[in-house]
Structure 1
Amino acid sequence: MNIAIISVTNQGKEISDKLCEELSENPTILSVTQYHKNVFKSVDETFDKCDCIIGIMASGIMIRAIASHVESKLSDPAVLLVDDNANFVISLLSGHMGGANDLTQYISSILDSTPVITTSTDVNNRVGIDSIAKRYYFNLENPKNIKFINKALVNNRLVNLTLPHSLDYIIDDNLRKSYNIILDNDINYVIAEIDGHEVILRPKKLVMGIGARRDIPTQKVYYAIIQACEILKIPPNRIDFFATADIKSNEKGILDNVDRFNKELIIIDMDRIKNFDNNECSHSDFVMKQFGVKGVCEPASLLANDNNSHLIFRKTAYNGVTIAVSSN
């Protein structure tokens, strides 16, 4: 996720600095860029490039700045609003598919602010079907039917939600309040249905790239995998493939864990990594000096996934192991 923070006043800049420092520690956030003043120009530069815009200013300024850019709740970035005293964090745009509602809860916890969320499903303690898609890395089919599913939820009707046991990690108390849950191992996706209106959620392909020191112990690799998955709020079995560079293809610590989770390990040739140019990938001086490439886990993850994949978990080091995760 790429986040832009736009502030106007000196007070707002202080809040922006605090958010930037905190958010930069989160491995699911790839970049945080700060803008001060020039609100309309900043929005013009970031609206189509960022996943989230956080405005620290009066609501009227932000609404006017984004008005000409707004197109669809399926593609617009999340837009959050914070007042100059950080009393409130408001989910302004793309609460579900853009993730603004969840981000509002997160940002308000950093600032010790009151979260303000106005979407009907959320204020009625129901989980919108598009929120599930965003939260758990699903592609959403039949988006025109979202309104039928979410309207039924708001009206306290139980929507049928059919899914396989392999995806039952998404089930929690809030989901049980919203849906009539049906487990069916004959499918490998999620179906929400009411009155003949269906929305289908198909799992995105998740690839975990792994880099490691030579002769890394198996348990250290296992710990790194578990830690990354906990941050992503998915079980390790949700990972579709593991990936690493050919120089690590015989690393026992990696191979043992691939076998443990009964997954396939995709080996990426070092020449492909060397020639891979993607601005999501970070640069390691140590890896460049040792192997002549910028890094291992991030490019391996992206190259092993589809062409349109992007990082959802940037390179994070765990005691000799580096982990990155991409999604298609």
Structure 2
Amino acid sequence: MNLLTSAVAGLTAGGAYALLGVCAIFTYRLVAVVNFTGAAIGASGAFVLVVLTEAGFPLWPAVLAGLVVGTLVGMAVGFIMTTWFAEANASTKAAVTVALLVGMIAIGLRLIGGQHPRPFPELFPGSAFRLAGVEVTIASVLTIGLAVAFTLLADRFLNHTRTGLHLRALSERPMAAELIGVRVKFLSILVWAVTGTFTTFALMIIAPQRSPNFLALSLLAVPALAAALIGLFRSFWLALAGGILIGVIEGMTSTFEGLSQYRSAVPFLVILAVLLWSQREARWDEAR
């Protein structure tokens, strides 16, 4: 029963990992950027919520303000990427987002007073239902539901709308897309804005169950990218399943006394396993 309880407890984190992973694929497929700043963008908005509630603001206006800030920070990162690095190669873009992540963590830690946890309000406390005798929280249901909804919307948007087709053209041939009249910069920044909103809300939900300091939330980029790698930065649905699975495995790991202290290593092991698996054919060819 303890193992099942821990697995169910991991669903909240798994839903957030899934959403962050799907957002990473969304960004990659539409603007060709492996984004390391996704969780830090969400953390920026989430900590606005904390600061405002500590100052006595009502909860839901503070949530709205946090979502607005997360969206604006996402747009600011998008503006930087599209203004100065639109024609850069994929490696350079990824390196820029790593540099931006480091800068955002430094600024965040400075503004909120170091790595000390801050009390996050629970937006959706309580239990939704029981599964095999285990309470499934409302937060778990919401994070997974949000991840599924974003996956459905992203998949439909990308494959069945004119704007989605324009954005796919933007990702594959940005210069050609601009020449045929696609509003390249506007659409790129819009992609960053949308992912900023969703990641901010996901982190607001998951933060009370984590170590809620700016560094810890920003480093959720690691499980997010692990989920995206499971989807090979192509499949939203594989990333969704992968993110939930990582959360469940993390939860189950906490049951074992000798392994619980290494639960944060689970995403790194997933990344390593996926990279090794993706290189298997090349290795076999060399062996022959």
Question: If the TM-score is normalised by the length of the shorter chain, which range does it land in?
Answer: under 0.3
> Taking structure 2 as the reference length, what is the TM-score of the superposition?
0.23
* Structure possessing the higher radius of gyration over alpha carbons: 1
- Relative contact order, higher structure (CA 8 A, sep 6+): 2
The structure in which a higher percent of residues are strand is 1
- More helix by percentage: 2
